[in-house]
Chain A
Amino acid sequence: MAKAKRSFYRSFKENLTGYMFVLPYFCFFGLFTLYPILQGFFMSLTERDIFGFDIRFVGLKNYAQMLTDQRFWTALKNTASFTLMDVPTNVVLAILLATLLNRHFRGKEISLSMVFFPRLLSISVIAFIWLWLYEPEWGLLNHYLSFLGVGPISWLRNPSVALRAVVVATVWWTVGNNVVLFMAGMQQIPTEVYEAAELDGSVGLHRFFRITLPLLRPTAQFVVIMQIIASFQIFGQVNIMTGGGPAGATRVLVQYIYETGFSYFEMGYAAALSYILFLLIMVVSVIQLVWLRER
């Protein structure tokens, strides 16, 4: 305490310089991060329409309403299924591709570019490309699958397939990002480790499972957590490709928040839904901290 006080008075000028440097950032931080977090909680305790008329304090009513809101539970379930499908597919595929791409061969550079490039396309472009590939009658996918005796499948109109179809499009979009991260992780593994393993006769698959994978653990943990958090927030693909349909089969949490707040203008309820999403992401983040510290 005494020390803090001393450091406060020690150099008024030094303090002032520090504050001047952080001031611009904290103006934005206060206005667009802190304030909305607090205001969001306040809004979640109210009922009001979008114009701001008639704001009534309703306590925890919005949260209670969720318990019996079938749409909310479906949205939660869809978000969970999406995450459970997207994360393992994405991570496993990324590790495999990174392993393949991390070797020396002709066309390495261009191969990495081709796998990575979709990541740079905007979500609307991704949605358009896949809408066309998934076209039931004229789309490429059904055409080529018909040779395997599969289909035709109404990818985006069949409630039991639609969410999986969105996952495929998402993996195509994002896997390149994770490939780059895993390749960076692999390049950090010292070559001596591999040389020593070679002397012990560890090659090929054995080497991959015994050396590469365990040493990739920090990267994998990071990618898994980021991918889970990103999956919780999935929105654009769904919004453009299916609009949450058919019959709510792809209505994920953020889509539901969007509909509630900006189609039905139930801002209080939308704010409460956002807080639940916030809570879920907090839980994942805390698990991450514990998990990473365990190492």
Chain B
Amino acid sequence: MRKKLLGAFTVAFAVLWFLPVVWMLITSLKYETDIFQLPPIWIPSRITLDHYKVVMERSHILRWFLNSVVITTCVTFLVLIVDSLAAFAFARLRFFGRDVLFSIVLASMMVPGQVTIVPLFALFSDLGLINTAQAVILPPLAGAFGVFLLRQFFLGIPLELEESAIIDGCSKLGVLRHVILPLSKPGLSALAIFTALGSWNNYLWPLIVLQDQTKMTLPVGLATLRGTYATSSYGVLMAAAVISSVPIFVMFVFMKKYFIQGIALTGGMK
């Protein structure tokens, strides 16, 4: 009995916790006059897509969305490639200065991105890359976390498996591709989720380097709507928020297990 009660309490709490998300969706579908109504209308008797129309027509939201998708995809793929090459070298190859280099990489995990935005901005202006997607894609490739995570993963793979591949005449790159990577799927997917999430939600750096409306990513573009609509129409803001959340929601529903495992894994390793 007590067990059931605690369970019911937990579900009720979770529903309450999720309610703001539901409220966002409901508000976005309401007529203006129903939005500003007390007591609040939880189940509107009539709904409209007007706010969605306004967002689509008067902002670059689809463009921002596309920019975010392209940037997140590029960052994630490049991080996976660059980091698995480096992690493989740190885990399996012997070369002069390896351990010193790895310590430097490890130490850099203590330096958060916020600390380097000012010199980075100067660097990207010198390179003439302000207002370009490259400016958002390149800096995350220097992140140390993925190298660390994948190295840990690679170290856990038994050496014998590679030895037979080497005897068969496989090169080092071949060993990485055909032996190590296929065995590291949990680590790779955890890193992919960690990287993609970070890139998708990145705000400060894109805010600084992307000034052109058509170049902006979703979080930065959305934020510009706040000034235009915050006082006049919450319906429009909520519609914009829903549009940018739906893909995340769909992905989460289908890949819930990976998301949660990914967080537990990347958290446990760090």
Contact = CB atoms under 8 A, between A and B. Distances in A.
A114 B141 contact: no
A128 B114 contact: no
Given A103-B7, A261-B117, A21 B83 contact: no
Interface string B3-29: 110111111011101101101100100
Contacts of A159: none
Contacts of A127: 223, 226
A89 interface: no
Indicate the size class of the contact surface on chain B: 35 or more
Interface stretch (A28-36, A68-76, A207-215): A28-36
B230 A40 contact: no
A267 interface: yes
A257 B268 contact: no
Interface in A85-140: 97, 100-101, 103, 105-108, 110-118, 120-125, 127-133, 135, 138, 140
Nearest to A118: B21
Contact of B226 (A121, A122, A128): A128
Contacts of B112: 229, 232-233, 277-278, 281
B20 A133 contact: yes
B96 A17 contact: no
Interface stretch (B43-51, B161-169, B196-204): B196-204
Contact of B116 (A29, A36, A172): A36
B219 interface: yes
B133 interface: no
Contacts of A261: 117-118, 121
Nearest to A282: B110
A235 B219 CA distance: 13
A11 B118 CA distance: 42
B218 A122 contact: yes
B122 interface: yes
A25 B105 CA distance: 10
Contact of A17 (B40, B95, B270): B95
A143 interface: yes
Given A14-B93, A113-B256, A143-B40, A274 B118 contact: yes
B116 A122 contact: no
A24 to B, nearest CB: 5
A4 interface: yes
A261 B138 CA distance: 21
Indicate the size class of the contact surface on chain A: 35 or more
Contacts of B219: 122-124, 236
B230 to A, nearest CB: 6
Contacts of A115: 14, 17-18
A103 B6 contact: yes
A278 B108 CA distance: 11
A26 B87 CA distance: 12
Contacts of A221: none
A114 B3 CA distance: 21
Interface string B121-157: 1110110000000000011011010010000000000
Contacts of B268: 181, 184
A122 B244 contact: yes
B134 to A, nearest CB: 12
Contacts of A131: 226, 230, 234, 237
Most buried by A among B17, B98, B126, B200: B17
A120 B94 CA distance: 40
A294 to B, nearest CB: 19
Most buried by A among B6, B36, B82: B82
A22 interface: yes
Contacts of A135: 234
B241 interface: yes
B10 A271 contact: no
Interface in B238-263: 238, 240-241, 244-245, 248-249, 252, 256, 259-260, 263
7 contacts: A29-B105, A107-B11, A114-B14, A117-B21, A172-B17, A177-B263, A233-B114
Given A22-B89, A125-B241, 5 more contacts: A25-B86, A32-B141, A43-B119, A129-B23, A254-B204
Interface of B: 3-4, 6-11, 13-15, 17-18, 20-21, 23-24, 27, 35-40, 81-83, 85-86, 88-90, 93-96, 98, 101, 105, 108, 110-112, 114-123, 125-126, 138-139, 141-142, 144, 147, 172, 197, 200-201, 203-204, 207-208, 218-220, 222-223, 226, 230, 234, 237-238, 240-241, 244-245, 248-249, 252, 256, 259-260, 263-264, 267-268, 270
